[in-house]
Amino acid sequence: MSPEHPVYLEDKLEEIRDSGRLHYRSKSLPTWCPGCGYYSMTEGVTWALNEIGVRNEDVVVVSGIGCASRFPFFMETYGFHTLHGRTLPVATGVKLANDKLTVVVVGGDGDGFAIGGGHIPHVARRNVDITYLLFDNGIYGLTKGQVSPTSAIGFTTSTSPFENHDQPLNPLMMLLSYGASWVGQAYAGQPEHLAKMIRAAIEHRGFSYLHILSPCVTFDKTDRTYRNLDFSVRNLPEGHDHTDRLAAIHEATKVDQPAVGLYYVEKRPTLSDTLDEIVVRAGGKPAQQAGAG
């Protein structure tokens, strides 16, 4: 900030107000720790919704349990704060009930890959038209710092006092092999890129999975910190073919230098498309216009 161009609070507030993002923010203030990566998520989602121009009442944010699960309360949209690990089936029900809704699922690594891991393959293979924003901080934050399925080997936490010995999962490889039709990665320390990725994920027609590297500033001082991630995170190589699943899996194996960007995308019928086709085959009339949202 140069002294020739001082930034006044009023100007900054006006700028934020004009950006349209506040239109999607509720009056509740986020309860996350200062510096938490989830603030970037809130910014990204509100920016993306504003860019897309979807109406507030046509958005449903579904969350489970964990730090990320408080997200719906900070949004001026419909929200369903559900159970630990059950976001994806709940969101499936919401979407099938009303295709016009834009359904965004938010959750962390414990919610998604520990207790809720069984649902991911099925929502991916069915290609439910929802967006899954997974904030991976490699730790259980809300219960104050326990080991998670994506914690690194050697990571010490309150429930792994003798270090974590379990191989961490590779979520990107899992999603790519499960058949997710949109797989990408972003980093909370790059909020503008993150916001663009969120927009692309929401705009994708089908199941989109965005893996977001996000430091836990309170319970992880050693491993997945902003400092470490700033150093290791890179972009996907130029010329990465995001229609090539094998190339995407190959990139996903490079866990020490995680790459951000769009790994893989494909076009195929969504679950709603399939169910409407069944209705037509049975001689019925589809009650909804699938994928209108």
Partner 1 sequence: MTSIHTDVQIGICGSAGDGTIAVGDILKRAMARAGYRVIAFDEYPAEIRGFGKCVARTRITTEQVYSMKPKTDVLVSLNDAHAIPHAEEVRDFGAVIYDSAPISMIDEGWHISGHLNPGQLPYGLPMREISEQATGSNRSRNIVALGFVAGLYQLPRQAFVDAIAAKFQTKAAEVTQSNVAAFNAGYDNGAEIYRFDKVEVGPPARRTRGHDSTMMTGNAAVVRGCLDAGIETFFGYPITPATSIMERLAVEMPKHGARLLQTEDEISAISATMGAGFAGARAATATSGPGFALMSEMMGLGVMAEVPAVVFVSQRGGPSTGMPTKTEQADLNIAVFGGHGDAKRIVLAPTNVEGCWRCAGRAFEMAEAYQTPVVVLLDLYLSNRYETVVFPKKTPFVRDACKRPAQDKHNEPYRRFELTGDGVSPRAVPGEAHGIHTATGLEHNEFGRPNDLSDMHFQMTEKRHEKLNTALKHPGITIYKRFGDTGDVDVGLLAWGSTFGETLEAMLLARAEGIRCAAMKVVMLSPLPVKPIKRFLKDCKEVIVPELNYEGQFANLVSGAVGRDVIRLNRVTGKPMAVNEILDTIRSAAGKRKMRKSAA
- Residues contributing to the site for partner 1 (CB under 8 A): 28, 55-62, 70, 72-73, 75-83, 86, 88-98, 100-101, 118-119, 121-122, 126, 271, 275, 278-279, 281-287
The least distance separating partner 1 from the CB of residue 279, rounded to whole angstroms, comes to 5
The least distance separating partner 1 from the CB of residue 181, rounded to whole angstroms, comes to 18
Nearest CB to partner 1, comparing residues 94 and 169 = 94
Q: How far apart are the C-alpha atoms of 216 and 228, rounded to whole Å?
A: 12
Nearest CB to partner 1, comparing residues 187 and 209 = 209
Structure token digits, residue 170: 């590779």
Alpha-carbon distances of 199 from 48, 51, 67, 186, 246, rounded to whole Å: 5, 8, 22, 12, 25
The least distance separating partner 1 from the CB of residue 32, rounded to whole angstroms, comes to 14
Q: How far apart are the C-alpha atoms of 251 and 172, rounded to whole Å?
A: 9
Q: How far apart are the C-alpha atoms of 182 and 286, rounded to whole Å?
A: 26
Contact between 136 and 211 (Cβ < 8 Å)? yes
Nearest CB to partner 1, comparing residues 94 and 195 = 94
Contact between 62 and 103 (Cβ < 8 Å)? yes
Structure token digits, residue 166: 């379990």
Nearest CB to partner 1, comparing residues 61 and 174 = 61
Contact between 99 and 129 (Cβ < 8 Å)? yes
Structure token digits, residue 110: 């414990």
Query: What does the DSSP assignment read for 194-255?
Result: HHHHHHHHHHSSS-EEEEEE---TTT-SSSS-HHHHHHH-EEPPTT--TT-HHHHHHHHT-T
If 0-12 CB within 10 Å is exposed, 13-18 middle and 19+ buried, where does residue 216 land?
buried
The least distance separating partner 1 from the CB of residue 246, rounded to whole angstroms, comes to 26
The least distance separating partner 1 from the CB of residue 97, rounded to whole angstroms, comes to 4
Nearest CB to partner 1, comparing residues 1 and 282 = 282
The least distance separating partner 1 from the CB of residue 61, rounded to whole angstroms, comes to 8
Q: Tell me how long the chain is.
A: 293
The least distance separating partner 1 from the CB of residue 57, rounded to whole angstroms, comes to 5
Nearest CB to partner 1, comparing residues 116 and 215 = 116
Nearest CB to partner 1, comparing residues 59 and 248 = 59
